[in-house]
Amino acid sequence: MISANDLSPAELAALLHFHADAGVDWLLEEEAIDRFAEFEAMKAARRPAAQAQQQRPAAGERPAPGQSPARPNAAARPAPAERAASGPQPAIPDGEAVQQARFVAETARSLAELKTAIETFNGCNLKHSARSTIFASGDAESGIMVIGSAPSAEDDREGLPFSGKSGQLFDKMLAAIGLTRSAILLTQVIPWRPPGNRAPSAAEMDICRPFIERQIALAEPKAILLLGNFSARFFFGENDTIHGLRGRWKEIAAADCVIPAIASLHPQDLLTAPVNKRLAWNDLLAFQAKLKSLSLLRN
């Protein structure tokens, strides 16, 4: 093993970039974990099942005359909890998970209830690899809603949407049109970060759709700003890039609500390609004008 002391600053930086690209968000757990004890417990849980399997006759093998077929006794059989621990739990089928998500979302009568429901929902595999559940934050009574795509590594670590450098740029974008985080309702389409920042699958989007649509229905915003390619495609139902979807007002529906929405580039896109800031600025001005026309923002 190579010690960090033997690496130059450039080599250390390259190594950290490699781990970040591979999806590693943090190097140390908050609490120490004894992996050796975990391995021994796993072996102990599987041992009874292995012994029972050895006592069964091989396929095609017959017991000797007068001898009953070998059967593992009750003591040798693993308990239900041991059988469950011996392997991964079966995943909920996608169709069933979507139905569960719809039921959970529809029965929530407030954003607080919906937040609790999403935090206890286990039907989406994204939750099992994410550190945080990202939910709407800010002023639900403002009539102004901004929706991002999916949590980044920084969002997942901090437990808040639009964290890190993209969050700092986002705050500046809001300030440029007279807004702050606390004055709007801010959320994400997907509440859990996909591992390695990959795009959510079609099944994962279907499972998460009832949650974001219920957030919109409960908040009843008067205008929505969608940030990022994924968010725009998700609501507009089109496959164009953000450059083809941005800057045009469209209507999106959630339950009985029909809300005007405009899409723009995500702050992370602007960090990657600063030349596009002028496009985002035009979109922000259009959003500001709409808010003023709806008396949601002072002139």
Which of 280 and 27 is assigned the larger pLDDT? 280
Predicted confidence (pLDDT) per residue in 17-26, tens digit: 555 554 555 5
Which residue type occupies 57?
Answer: P
- What percent of the chain clears pLDDT 90, i.e. is strictly above it? 65
Instruction: Please give the residue that has the higher pLDDT: either 66 or 13.
Output: 13
pLDDT of 171-219, one tens digit each? Answer: 999 999 999 999 999 999 999 999 998 999 999 999 999 999 999 999 9
Q: What is the pLDDT of residue 198?
A: 93
pLDDT digits (tens, 9 = 90+) for 126-137: 999 999 999 999
Rounded CA separation 266/134 (Å): 17
- Return the pLDDT at 256: 83
Q: What is the 3-state secondary structure (H, E, C) of 156-186?
A: HHHCCCCCHHHHHHHHHHHHHCCCCHHHCEE
Greatest extent of the chain over all pairs of C-alpha atoms, in Å: 97
